[in-house]
Chains A and B, each alone.
Chain A
Amino acid sequence: NAGVTQTPKFRVLKTGQSMTLLCAQDMNHEYMYWYRQDPGMGLRLIHYSVGEGTTAKGEVPDGYNVSRLKKQNFLLGLESAAPSQTSVYFCASSYQGRNTDTQYFGPGTRLTVL
């Protein structure tokens, strides 16, 4: 049982390049989330999904797209990377979205945009 995994762990992009971050969970969780964490700031929700085939905007969705084609995977895409998107990205999943459902976090992807 690997929990929540993220690939890649590190990535450096040039401004304007595109990339996709992959999140996978093997716990059969319905809900999945993408957050970004910036120095001196808490986590901010980018997008989330309440089930396969669904996505919804979070607090800071601009510049990102997501897809949930399979229940176990949640992809985060940057179509044209900008330096402001330099951050650590965390994926999380939970069984459902209930208040007491624990969100399990992945180890993070450190992205630098030059």
Chain B
Amino acid sequence: GEDVEQSLFLSVREGDSSVINCTYTDSSSTYLYWYKQEPGAGLQLLTYIFSNMDMKQDQRLTVLLNKKDKHLSLRIADTQTGDSAIYFCAERFFHDKIIFGKGTRLHILP
């Protein structure tokens, strides 16, 4: 079946790079997404990558997709206190179904 797994917690020092990882089981997805959820707010789409791409860069964000290992990662360069949030990866399939991971809580250390 379709399943998306993420580690639940990540702690990073301010100014360092954060790398949030995600693995998935069903490789028939069309797009993969990274969402950010700040406390008390809904999800905000950060970036997405088409399933036939390996990498996408958008300012401080770099998405890497390893289709062979079914592994997706989000790298945030120069992590700031405003990056503190829960990050969700999600897979989208042809039939419009989107499967979300459980979310990774990113904690920024001073």
Contact = CB atoms under 8 A, between A and B. Distances in A.
Given A42-B101, A45-B97, A45-B98, A99 B92 contact: yes
Contact of A40 (B8, B31, B42, B45): B8
A102 interface: yes
B37 to A, nearest CB: 8
Contacts of B101: 42
Contacts of B103: 42
A11 B8 CA distance: 28
| Range class of the A interface residue count | 20 to 34
A92 B37 CA distance: 13
| Range class of the B interface residue count | 20 to 34
Interface in B6-42: 8, 30-31, 40-42
Nearest to B96: A97
A114 B10 CA distance: 33
A1 interface: no
Contacts of A41: 102
A61 to B, nearest CB: 13
B43 A90 contact: yes
Given A43-B88, A105-B44, A107-B42, A100 B102 contact: no
B42 A42 contact: no
Interface string A7-34: 0000000000000000000000000000
Nearest to B40: A107
B88 A100 contact: no
Interface of A: 4, 40-45, 48, 59, 90, 92, 97, 99-100, 102-103, 105-108
Interface of B: 4, 8, 30-31, 40-45, 48, 50, 88, 90, 92, 96-103
